Amino acid sequence: MEESKPYPVFAVAKDGTRHSIDATSIIIQLEEEEIEISLIPSHPVFQGKLTLATALPFWDGSRRED
């Protein structure tokens, strides 16, 4: 079986330039919580997409039409 290789990872500077970083996971700290994202696929043929979304500070479930 082929060995899983880490996904390419970049830090993005304020001016938009990318800088390659060597990491096996990323930890995002949100106040008292942490989200850890593994950068090594669980299987060599796995090709997934990661999407992160943040919610609005307060949402009451109603839709607002502008």
pLDDT digits (tens, 9 = 90+) for 32-59: 888 888 888 776 666 667 676 766 666 5
The strand pairing partners of 19, in sequence order, are 11
Does 24 fall in a domain?
yes
Q: Is residue 14 predicted with pLDDT exceeding 70? A: yes
- More confidently predicted of 50 and 8: 8
In one-letter notation, the amino acid at residue 43 is H
Report the percentage of the chain scoring pLDDT > 90. Answer: 18
Does 10 fall in a domain?
yes
Mean pLDDT across the stretch 18-39? Answer: 88
Report the number of distinct structural domains present in the chain.
Answer: 1
Does 63 fall in a domain?
no
Which residue range is the domain that position 2 belongs to? 1-56
Q: What is the 3-state secondary structure (H, E, C) of 10-23?
A: EEECCCCCEEEECC
Yes or no: say if 7 and 39 are a contact pair by the CB < 8 Å rule.
yes
Does 29 fall in a domain?
yes
Does 3 fall in a domain?
yes
Does 62 fall in a domain?
no
